[in-house]
Amino acid sequence: MTQPENASVETKSTRILSIDAYRGFTMLLLISGGLGLGSLAKDPSWGWLADQVSHRDWVGLTLWDLIQPSFMFLVGVSMPFAFAIRTEKGDSFGQQFCHVLKRATLLILVGVCLDSLGKQIVQLQFIRVLQQIALAYIVAFLFMRGGWRTMALGVVLSLLIYSGGLYLFGWIQGIDPWAQDKNLGSWIDQSIHAWTTRMGYPNLLIAPKGSYAVLNFLPSSATLLLGALTGEFLRLSPLKGKSLLLLAAGLLLLGAGWSLGLVIPSVKRIWTPSFCLFAAGWTLIAMAVFHGLIEDLGLRSWAWPFAIAGMNSIALYAGSEFLRPRVRDLVNPWIQPLMGLSPWGAVGLSIASSVSVLLVFWGLAWWLHTKKIYFKA
């Protein structure tokens, strides 16, 4: 229990509300479960909306596919602020690296606990967003030490090494390097799981489901580093109207991701370079909107409900994973009778239930904020 994740903005003089607000918006969107809009999947008029709150099976991108990249990007945005504070306090590189390893370990432990929820034995795997952040966090920190040039180099290297590895594996195997469940990442995970199973530990390093791969942490590191570059720009640049530059950078990344997508398919499940750049483009555009409204135009009041959630994002994420079914069971008996008066039937119940659950968790974040209780891994 301590100060929020974005140590970047802990003091009154350095707080950037837009970072908190964007993080909170992302987390509330995740907790909302798509606001129950998935129930509209078969509706001829609104099915497109339901499609945006579900993941693409393989190639392509939806709103829902942008949640994880947004959260990872924002972790990167906060890093320059956090480590600048530690440097000012006199922490050495070794002390800061130990802090990084500690935080990464705690994130992994939280993720393992969530993966093991309801299981008979602990499940150890590394595809959940918390474990992926932990691994990418270490890589991003090492590249941060050299300033923005080294961070930019880290983005290029992580994507080149990842792409090169998948291409080489595909060439050796004589298959499409981006083939679903047959790529290098899948092969590594399946091989390790087969080895641990032969050793008598089938619950350790489980082969990921849903075509995700542990190796995703390498291109995910590029996402964190793009966020760190953004954070360094926000922290050091004396320029005014930064949101316009963020918007321009976002549009450039969208163009780069789209262009690369002509050669490398855009696939979130294995975090292809084209997906990494395209998703980062959308994330930067969203960051530009939040920063422009809040910091440049001074429209701050509307952002506080999101910021309150953003300051306890880890607690909300873990709490929702543990408690969401129970909260839904708690609110549904109060909602269901009222739905008999609604013309929307089951769809209305799904949406009302999701909104009610979301409000409960936001209420928890508000209560923690009023008590000045903040959690970070």
Residue-by-residue DSSP string for 275-287: HHHHHHHHHHHHH
Are 205 and 125 in contact, with CB atoms under 8 Å apart? yes
Query: Does a structural domain hold residue 133?
Result: yes
Query: Does a structural domain hold residue 118?
Result: yes
Q: Mean per-residue pLDDT for 21-41?
A: 89
pLDDT at 341 over 60: no
Query: Does a structural domain hold residue 2?
Result: no
Single-letter residue type at 50:
A
pLDDT at residue 345, rounded to an integer: 65
pLDDT at 14 over 80: no
Q: Which residue has the higher pLDDT, 118 or 189?
A: 189
pLDDT at residue 344, rounded to an integer: 62
Single-letter residue type at 168:
L
The count of C-alpha atoms lying within 13 angstroms of the C-alpha of 145, restricted to the half-sphere facing its C-beta, is 12
The domain tally of the chain equals 1
Q: Mean per-residue pLDDT for 16-36?
A: 92
pLDDT digits (tens, 9 = 90+) for 225-239: 999 999 999 998 887
Q: Which residue has the higher pLDDT, 207 or 198?
A: 198
Compute CA 192 distance to the chain's CA centroid, rounded to the nearest angstrom.
26
pLDDT digits (tens, 9 = 90+) for 294-318: 999 999 999 999 999 999 999 999 8
- Alpha carbon distance 274, 282 (integer Å): 13
Strands (E) across 9-100 are located at none
pLDDT at residue 123, rounded to an integer: 86
Could you tell me the residue range of the domain that residue 244 belongs to?
7-370
Single-letter residue type at 128:
R
- Alpha carbon distance 174, 161 (integer Å): 19
Query: Does a structural domain hold residue 376?
Result: no
Query: Does a structural domain hold residue 375?
Result: no
pLDDT at 5 over 70: no
- Alpha carbon distance 218, 232 (integer Å): 21
- Alpha carbon distance 224, 300 (integer Å): 26
pLDDT at 8 over 80: no
Query: Does a structural domain hold residue 1?
Result: no
Query: Does a structural domain hold residue 346?
Result: yes
pLDDT at residue 377, rounded to an integer: 58
The whole-chain average pLDDT of the chain stands at: 89
pLDDT at residue 13, rounded to an integer: 40
Sorted by sequence, the CB contacts under 8 Å of residue 228 that are 6+ apart come out as: 76, 77, 79, 80, 140, 144, 151
pLDDT at residue 4, rounded to an integer: 39
pLDDT at residue 331, rounded to an integer: 85
Query: Does a structural domain hold residue 315?
Result: yes
